[in-house]
């Protein structure tokens, strides 16, 4: 198995709005739309390449285990 590339990356943060300002102003990513308290989405590649970075407040739950997360049985 090989990877063809990165489509989306989700970063878990405590403060989405403050983190969004950092990724826009310092890192230079382009906001896809207006951020909320829960989510902010950025374009992470040149125009026409569907790669995005998301900031999310909260956690990623793997309560069902890795097989459940990956959709395998």
Q: Assess contact for 32 and 41: CB atoms under 8 A.
A: yes
Q: In this structure, are residues 47 and 40 in contact, taking their beta carbons and an 8 Å threshold? A: no
Three-class DSSP category at 11: strand
Each residue of 23-72: pLDDT tens digit? Answer: 999 999 999 999 999 999 999 888 778 899 999 998 766 665 555 545 55
Give the predicted TM-score (pTM) of the model.
Answer: 0.73
For the chain, which domains are there? 8-70 (3.10.180.10)
What residues form DSSP beta bridges with 52?
Answer: 8, 43
pLDDT category, 3, cuts 50, 70, 90? confident
């Amino acid at each position: 198995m090989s990877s063809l590339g990165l489509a989306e990356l989700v970063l878990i943060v405590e403060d989405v709005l403050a983190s969004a300002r950092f990724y826009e102003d310092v890192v230079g990513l382009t906001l896809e739309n207006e951020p909320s308290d829960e989510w902010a989405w950025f374009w992470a590649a040149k125009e026409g390449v569907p790669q995005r970075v998301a900031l999310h407040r909260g956690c990623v739950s793997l309560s069902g285990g890795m097989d459940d997360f990956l959709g395998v049985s």
